[in-house]
Amino acid sequence: MLLQVGLDQLAGRVPCRTNFMKENARPIDPGQTLNRLTLLLRRLHGSMQERSGRTPTYRDIEEWTGVAEGTLKGWFGNAGQPKAEFLLQLLERVPQDARHRLLNAACRLWPTLEHPRFDLDQTTLSRLKTIVRQTRGLVLIDGGADESRTLLAAALANTFLVETERPRRVRGVDLHEPDWFVPVAGVAYLHNQFHADALGEAVTRLWSSIAVGRSLVLLNGVWSLLPAFRSRIVHLAQEHLVIVADTNAAKPAKLVKKIKGQSHFITVVEDPKAKTIRVEIVTR
């Protein structure tokens, strides 16, 4: 409760005894999104108030850290990049439990097949690792919610980077905004762009850079919204391992049968009570 009050004060919803943010913070464009570090700083400030019983001022923080007040105003106002040492000095002043909560909230999910969200026995885990070691073919991920398919596709891509020899890389296009998970290096994220026309323009522009060298190709959301690209995707799978995550991806057109390599149909099965993800694999 005290933490929430601190956040409300920072947001100007509850009167703050020193009007820390209201009077001193650098103005922010109403259309601007707060970056993760700014959110962490503001939450840290609320937690420090919980411990001390009063709202720390910029002068207080300057005395603790040695960072000038003008710089602090910029950092709390969504400008600049706070230094790691500065963040550590503030974290040290927060109760341990609150510190853990703040850091967990600031960190995005790292997609890996070993993540607790996945309920995979050793046989299934081994099979998935074998699939991503292949040099070509098509992997179609279907079923479950968009979040689960996105998580599985990214986890497979990260597994590819761990399990295969260098040089190897991941290329591809994902419609989503990676604000809740760590993005896969090499994948172009389109920031929740689900409009077919804009998506088509973006994918067309990026397509020539996707099939480069020894790369795994990840395409999330492209199959259903851009049916004209399906033949290109299948052609790409002749030379690369291509992972497609989408609704109805496991019901492809007959052109999938033309692939020289293997095709793997992975169905996501969710357990709403346990909040876990299982998979069913069919190889053709």
pLDDT tens across 208-251, in order?
Answer: 898 777 789 999 999 999 999 998 999 999 999 999 999 877 66
Q: Which amino acid is at 246?
A: D
* Phi, psi dihedral angles at 157 (to 5 degrees): -65, -45
pLDDT score at 28: 52
Question: Domain total for the chain?
Answer: 2
**Residue 106 pLDDT > 50, yes or no?**
yes
Q: Which residues 6+ apart lie within 8 Å of 244 measured at CB?
A: 138, 139, 140, 141, 219, 220, 222, 223, 233
Of 170-174, 191-195, 268-272, 275-279, which range is least confident? 191-195
**Same structural domain, 39 and 85:** yes
**Residue 258 pLDDT > 70, yes or no?**
no
Domain enclosing residue 25, as ranges? 2-106
In this prediction, residues 177-183 reach a mean pLDDT of: 96
Q: Which residues 6+ apart lie within 8 Å of 23 measured at CB?
A: none
**Residue 280 pLDDT > 80, yes or no?**
yes
Question: Domain end: 80, 106, 132, which one?
Answer: 106
Write the DSSP symbol of residue 266.
Answer: E
Q: Which amino acid is at 48?
A: M
51 part of a folded domain = yes
173 part of a folded domain = yes
Q: Which residue has the tokens 């480069």?
A: 212
The span from the CA of 204 to the CA of 183, in Å, is 21
The span from the CA of 284 to the CA of 282, in Å, is 7
State the pLDDT confidence band at 165, using cuts at 50, 70 and 90.
confident
State the pLDDT confidence band at 10, using cuts at 50, 70 and 90.
very low
Please tell me whether residue 281 adopts helix, strand or coil conformation.
strand
Q: What is the pTM of this model?
A: 0.81
144 part of a folded domain = yes
**Same structural domain, 135 and 98:** no
Q: Residue 200's domain is classified under what CATH number?
A: 3.40.50.300
**Same structural domain, 13 and 77:** yes
Beta bridge partners of 270: 277
In this prediction, residues 20-37 reach a mean pLDDT of: 62
Question: Domain end: 81, 106, 131, which one?
Answer: 106
**Residue 1 pLDDT > 80, yes or no?**
no
**Same structural domain, 102 and 148:** no
**Residue 33 pLDDT > 60, yes or no?**
yes
